[in-house]
Structure 1
């Protein structure tokens, strides 16, 4: 097994490769780089302890955030409180409230500032976006990993904005349409991969809407510890946030015996056990093979595809 230093060297080799040539990077070069990064993330994970600069650099590449103009961010911040500031403040103070490391690195005013700026940005971009955005429940938790990971509020803002607008826009609509679609898909997927567990939960009147809402809404960022959440997000940013649905199922399967032997499983499901990213990712990857292609296609598209009415 390679050491964290050796793995970090492999990542850096990929990240630095384009700088060794005078030619501009072609789209083929970029895709080749992304393919190599994704493979390393899946096989070895990002060794952030060996090189703390890796995760923020890789997240920016995966999100295709190439520019972070400071004047744009400062202009939004300079506008002051947005129209939903009170709603933002009702949530920000309790964001990852039990995580001391997060609280030491990310102050509440940083979260408020980023979310205010995002609302201002969305108002300016209404004409060029298919979907509109404002602040909605859960957005504070989705912003938290970016502020924790990125070296600056500026980079966190642009990564968060790109993530929301392109990776999971339906998750942050006022109706939380993508979240509810994800929960229905979770039930359908669980029925296929573990019909016995699905039937037992249904016999207790437990659907994903009841026990999995926080995990789907926040892409598992609500389940500590944060270092495991970040490792899971490495995987989701590399391969798609739709896989979070299978990651929630993976957590269910890891506690399956306890759930099946409990007469009141909701007591267990109210608070999931501490997140363990590697086993969750391992199970999620294997579950992909068990799903019919049509269902998997629905899963892939549910965070962003607007249904035609």
Structure 2
């Protein structure tokens, strides 16, 4: 990625600080819109490792990082569901050496304990460990990871972490409906094998594709999801299906292929997802937008 692109991002990122003093909401929104457009067109350049954490905090509107608040939650020790947390944390992105080198299990446990103590109507549920992982990997500090993760869960996808996983199951049903619309032949073939999204796409929807390596591609995909909405993950899963469509259609047992998706390739997946947005009926797309956070 060129130095000029990194410079453009840095120039844009320097604006919110000055803008926030004047409280010019319209200008803040304009800056965020430009940032989203740059993410879609250029991607976040890897040359400057400080860009992604700064951009994620802007997209999530995380402006305050009260360390004392986080330390207060941590000082309370193990939360009431610590055993459930520990049953999951040791296997979080277990095959990713880079993740394991940067993020220790105790950091993940501590963040999830603190999130439960924070409450706001949430407890720990399946998949939350994987959703926390990219924040701990990306952010310069555990405190920043905690507040970004908390804001993300509470505002972007609260229904995905209900005890019933309501948002996840709605997302899976919407995946079937969207696939039926965009590729009725592939949908029909999978259904002829008794394969619904609930069966083959549960991990990908539950974790917003963070379960599919490699991690650097997951982070690129999350740049897109944080910029434009986690609802688009459903279309990103469909995009992965379309990329392996020929193999799936030629397989007598497609579940063998779908049990483990091929390594993630963020750019083609994002490109297909953006195209699918244009193809979907307005009413179906509106349902898709609302499903992670709006109770039916």
What residue is the counterpart of 1:128 in the other structure?
none
What residue number does 2:212 align with? 223
Distance verdict in 2 for CA 1:78–1:97, change over 3 Å? same
Partner-residue secondary structure (3-state), 1:289: helix
1:36 matched to 2:25? The reply is: no
SS at match of 2:63: coil
SS in 1 for 2:44: coil
Q: Distance in 1 between matches of 2:40 and 2:20?
A: 30
1:234 pairs with 2:223: yes
Alignment equivalent of 2:51, drawn from 29, 50, 54: 54
Which residue number in structure 1 is paired with residue 22 of structure 2?
Answer: 24
Q: Among residues 264, 267, 278, which one is paired with 2:253 in the alignment?
A: 264
The correspondence for 1:179, drawn from 168, 172, 177, is 168
Question: For 2:182, which of 182, 189, 193 is the aligned residue?
Answer: 193
What CA distance in whole angstroms lies between the structure 2 residues aligned with 1:251 and 1:22? Answer: 39
Write the distance in 1 (CA, Å) between the matches of 2:228 and 2:19. Answer: 28
In the TM superposition, what is the alpha-carbon distance from 1:21 to its structure 2 partner?
Answer: 7.1
Structure 2 partner of 1:142: 131
Partners of 1:53 and 1:63 lie apart in 2 by 16
Find the partner of 1:304 among 273, 289, 293. 293
Deviations 1:95-145 (A, max 9, x none): 0000000000000000000000000001xx3xxxxxx21000000000000
Question: Which residue does the alignment assign to 1:284?
Answer: 273
Cα deviations by residue, 1:169-224 (Å, 9 ceiling, x for unpaired)? 00000000000000000000000000000000000000000000000000000000
Change (3 A) 1:207 1:17: same
Give the structure 2 partner of residue 83 of structure 1.
80
Q: Which among 94, 98, 102 is matched to residue 95 of structure 2?
A: 98
Mapped to 1, the partners of 2:71 and 2:20 lie a distance apart of: 34
Gaps of 5+ in 1: 126-131
Number of positions where the alignment pairs a residue of Structure 1 with one of Structure 2? 296
Runs of 4+ deviating beyond 4 Å: 18-23
State the alpha-carbon separation in 2 of the partners of residues 180 and 63 from structure 1. Answer: 24
Q: Deviations over 1:69-89 (max 9, x none)?
A: 001000000000000000000
1:109 to 101, 106, 111: 106
The answer on whether the counterparts of 2:19 and 2:27 sit within 8 Å (CA) in structure 1 is no
Gaps of 5+ in 2: none
CA distance in 2, matches of 1:243, 1:117: 28
Paired residue for 1:65, among 62, 65, 83? 62
Q: Structure 1 residues 18, 178: CA separation in 2 closer, same or farther (over 3 Å shift)?
A: closer
Alignment partners' CA distance in 1, 2:236 and 2:21: 40
Matches for 1:127-166 after TM superposition, within 5 Å? 132-166=121-155
Q: TM-score, normalised by structure 2?
A: 0.98
TM-score by length of 1: 0.94
C-alpha deviation, 1:17, in angstroms: 2.5
Contact 1:193 1:287 in 2 (8 A): yes
In structure 1, what is the Cα distance between the partners aligned to 2:289 and 2:250? 33
